[in-house]
Amino acid sequence: MSRFTLLLALVVTLHAAEPAADLGALTFSGDQSALDALDREIGAAGADAAKLAALESRLLAVLQRKDSSFAARQAVAQRLGSLLAQGSAPAKPATYRVLGNLLADERDSDVARLALEPAAGAAIDTLFLNAVAKTSGRPRLGLIDSLGRRRTPAAVPPLAALLRDNDAATAAAAARALGQIGGEAALNALAGGPASPAVAKAQLAAASSLPAPAAAVALRKLAGDAALPASVRAAAFRASLDADPADTATRLGAAFTGSDAALKAAALEAVATSKAPGLVAALAANLAGYDPVTQAAVIAAFGRRADPAATAAVSAAAKHADAEVRGAAVSALGFLPGSAATAGLLAGVAAGDDSEAAKLARQSLTRLNGPGVAAAILAGAERGEPALRAVYLEALALRAMSDGLPLLLAARKDAAAPVRLAAAAALGDLGTTAQLGALLDWTLGATDEAEQTRALRSVVNVILRQPAGAGRGAALFAAIDQSAPAVAIRLLPALGRLGDAEAAACAARQALRGDAKLADAAVAALGRWPDASAVPALVDIAEKSSLTGPAKAARDAVLRHHGRIRDVWTEASSVLVGRLLAKETDAAGRAPLLALLHRARDAAALKLAESLGAEGALAAEVIRANGKGEPGVRVSGGSGARNVLDFKSSTRWTVPAAGEEWIELDFKVGRPLRTLILDQSTRTGEFPEKYEVYVSDRPEAVGTPVASGTGQRNQTVISLPAGTRGRYVTIKNVAPRADSSWTVTDLYVD
């Protein structure tokens, strides 16, 4: 024998000598090795009757032990149930005896049910029936539930008796079990029981389980029983239609002309889902006989079903006197198989005076599919009444019919204004860069103001669909540059919609052309710009314009921009302010520009401030203080303290407004302070109820407040007294507000 073989034998021997874990001591979270070993044994036993019998005895012994844990009894019962369910050999009499006794035991009834419920056979049914007779309360409820799950026919008589039990939970459990068992006997037992919601639901379940012919009869009877709850009658009616679809159309028609709301709702569901032959055609033939509300609902169900047999009736309903019926019909036509006639009908409604129906018709015309639909739309876009052509032209874009582009372009020369407007708008949705030149020509050549606006909007839409980057708006910029001032003014709004640096530069070029009206319009457009990309263009205008008014307006627009949008300050920002300062000769005009430099910390800003001597001394001191780095932040509570200094509207610091909250900033050095701005961004109402501001050089000696007041929506702007300076700033909320918070998205310091 080799050394390796000896070593292996020793390991096996030592392992076998280890004490096996006690299965009876099993816990839910402890050592599971005993259970793992048991599962391996069960797997290895396969169908070997002798091994399975031995395992059955072992598991039964664990169940009988008084000291077995609940986890052990539950795990053993589950596995014993699997063995009994295999049925490879009859269970031992002892197993039946022990488990039968446990079924009636207050403590172990559920465990015994776990073992016995999966196993089939009349003998086990008898164990459950005997236990039900011996128990009450919770164990009996569990046993009744098991009889229902096992669908035990022999349980019907004792369960029928329990329907009248004084305990309501027992009576309801018996009803549910009878419903699960099903069959004629169970249904008759339920019919003879007391009226209750549980019995009614059980009758429905029992009837549904019968073979088709008998089920249809039973369900019809339940559907017509006025003593049953409306929900049960409606469900029985719906189930009976599937069980016997022969006269579905007749029965649905009766429900639609009746007054039972629950029955009508079930009937509407059946319209969309029933497989009864000829159903839609039969209902469509009688559609006009229903009241308007029912007609609208049936039409909507026709739309969900998408059966062409409904098309004629729904098309007729599109002209109904009732607005709800018309709307339902127009919407449904978009889901039904379409044709050229349907397209014409929808276009006519879309061009009509009923605005709500017109909106629905446009949507349906966009969805409509079927032979001849596309051809009808192209033909309608080319010729016909102007109002109808406008609808068809719009549909070309909504349906992404690129083969209609030539028609859209040709419509520029149409005599009818509605046609031109619709075509110009459609080109904005359907056009590509290949049509951009033609659209620009259209915009420049249009004489009607509405047409000019519509065409210009389409130009922008086409440009915006191009990938972002240099040059995408070049054609528009060139057109504006080359246009007369009056035309350029008309085109300027497009630049703001593009909203990038190239568009801003184009606006600046217009302001510098020397035409006062054009310059005013260009500066106004840049003043409404959504972001900082307009600032360099505005500085160019302020610096280079020969017109005093636009130059000053551009400078003021820069100030407003920085007041409206607080971005992270960069050296480029300082350079731009420096250019404005160099142009400004008036001290009063330079003051707000120097105040902007209080946000800077770069060398260019410091050099600029120092070059201004006494006038720039304050700004230089603030810039040096900023150069020490971001201030430290401490708060009284809440989370996200650093969020108040990150210039991001998506982050915030928030805390319940109890009247004792505070924020402390440490600037690392003493510095001048003029203004504090608490921005709440989207949390507009979560401002400090009442605030106090303390400024000091020592955090332990804050002194008296230098400012106080009431918070404001959106932003709370706190102006500090002239000459205020210090290292530490503490802002306190000193008044509570019930069920609210104090939120700061960003805290700005000037």
pLDDT above 50: residue 13: no
| DSSP codes, 324-361 | HHHHHHHHHHTTSPP-HHHHHHHHHHHTSS-HHHHHHH
Going by the DSSP 8-state scheme, the letter that residue 232 receives in this structure is: H
pLDDT above 50: residue 10: no
Of 677 and 2, the one with more pLDDT: 677
Q: Could you tell me which residues are beta bridge partners of residue 719? A: 675
Cα–Cα distance for residue pair 150/159, rounded to 1 Å: 13
pLDDT digits (tens, 9 = 90+) for 722-741: 999 999 999 999 999 888 99
Cα–Cα distance for residue pair 366/360, rounded to 1 Å: 10
Integer Rg of the chain from CA: 42
Nearest to 210, CA basis, from 200, 201, 219, 202: 219
Cα–Cα distance for residue pair 616/610, rounded to 1 Å: 6
Burial label for 701, CB within 10 Å (0-12, 13-18, 19+), is exposed
pLDDT digits (tens, 9 = 90+) for 25-50: 888 888 888 888 888 988 888 888 88
Q: What is the dihedral of CA 687, 688, 691, 693, to 10 degrees?
A: -70
Cα–Cα distance for residue pair 542/589, rounded to 1 Å: 13
pLDDT digits (tens, 9 = 90+) for 515-537: 999 999 999 999 999 999 999 99
Is residue 649 very low, low, confident or very high in pLDDT (cuts 50, 70, 90)?
confident
Q: Could you tell me which residues are beta bridge partners of residue 664? A: 634, 730
For residue 663, give the H/E element and its range: strand 661-672
- How many whole angstroms from its chain centre is CA 54? 58
Half-sphere exposure of residue 447: CA atoms within 13 angstroms, side-chain side: 2
Cα–Cα distance for residue pair 256/249, rounded to 1 Å: 10
Question: What are the residue ranges of helices labelled H in 512-666?
Answer: 516-527, 535-544, 548-564, 571-583, 587-596, 603-611, 617-626
Which tokens hold the place of 193?
């029981």
pLDDT above 50: residue 137: yes
Average pLDDT over residues 61-66: 87
Cα–Cα distance for residue pair 406/416, rounded to 1 Å: 17
Largest CA distance in the chain: 112
Nearest to 131, CA basis, from 151, 148, 146, 119: 146
Contact 692, 734 (CB under 8 A): yes
pLDDT digits (tens, 9 = 90+) for 251-286: 999 999 999 899 999 999 999 889 899 999 999 999
Is residue 12 very low, low, confident or very high in pLDDT (cuts 50, 70, 90)?
very low
For residue 131, give the H/E element and its range: helix 122-134
Burial label for 9, CB within 10 Å (0-12, 13-18, 19+), is exposed
Percentage with pLDDT > 70 across the chain: 97
> What pLDDT is attached to residue 88?
61
pLDDT above 80: residue 89: no
Is residue 6 very low, low, confident or very high in pLDDT (cuts 50, 70, 90)?
very low
Contact 675, 720 (CB under 8 A): yes
Cβ neighbours of residue 66 under 8 Å, at least 6 residues apart?
none
Cβ neighbours of residue 561 under 8 Å, at least 6 residues apart?
527, 529, 532, 534, 535, 538
Average pLDDT over residues 407-424: 95
Cα–Cα distance for residue pair 177/186, rounded to 1 Å: 9
Cα–Cα distance for residue pair 208/239, rounded to 1 Å: 7
pLDDT digits (tens, 9 = 90+) for 624-637: 999 999 999 999 98
Going by the DSSP 8-state scheme, the letter that residue 473 receives in this structure is: T
> What pLDDT is attached to residue 21?
67
Nearest to 310, CA basis, from 264, 249, 255, 367: 249
pLDDT digits (tens, 9 = 90+) for 154-188: 999 999 999 999 999 999 999 999 999 999 999 99
Cα–Cα distance for residue pair 541/534, rounded to 1 Å: 11
Cα–Cα distance for residue pair 90/403, rounded to 1 Å: 77
Q: Could you tell me which residues are beta bridge partners of residue 694? A: 730
pLDDT digits (tens, 9 = 90+) for 480-504: 999 999 999 999 999 999 999 999 9
Nearest to 109, CA basis, from 83, 80, 85, 77: 77
Cα–Cα distance for residue pair 385/383, rounded to 1 Å: 7
Contact 38, 79 (CB under 8 A): yes
Average pLDDT over residues 212-238: 92
pLDDT above 70: residue 15: no
Cα–Cα distance for residue pair 16/533, rounded to 1 Å: 80
Q: Could you tell me which residues are beta bridge partners of residue 732? A: 662, 692
Nearest 5°: the CA angle 608, 609, 611 is 65
Burial label for 670, CB within 10 Å (0-12, 13-18, 19+), is middle
Contact 284, 313 (CB under 8 A): yes
Contact 426, 407 (CB under 8 A): no
Q: How many Cβ atoms sit within 10 Å of the Cβ of residue 424?
A: 28
pLDDT digits (tens, 9 = 90+) for 342-396: 999 999 999 999 999 999 999 999 999 999 999 999 999 999 899 999 999 999 9
Which tokens hold the place of 497?
């919609």
For residue 286, give the H/E element and its range: none
Contact 187, 217 (CB under 8 A): no
Rounded to the nearest integer, the mean pLDDT of the chain is 91
Cα–Cα distance for residue pair 572/353, rounded to 1 Å: 57
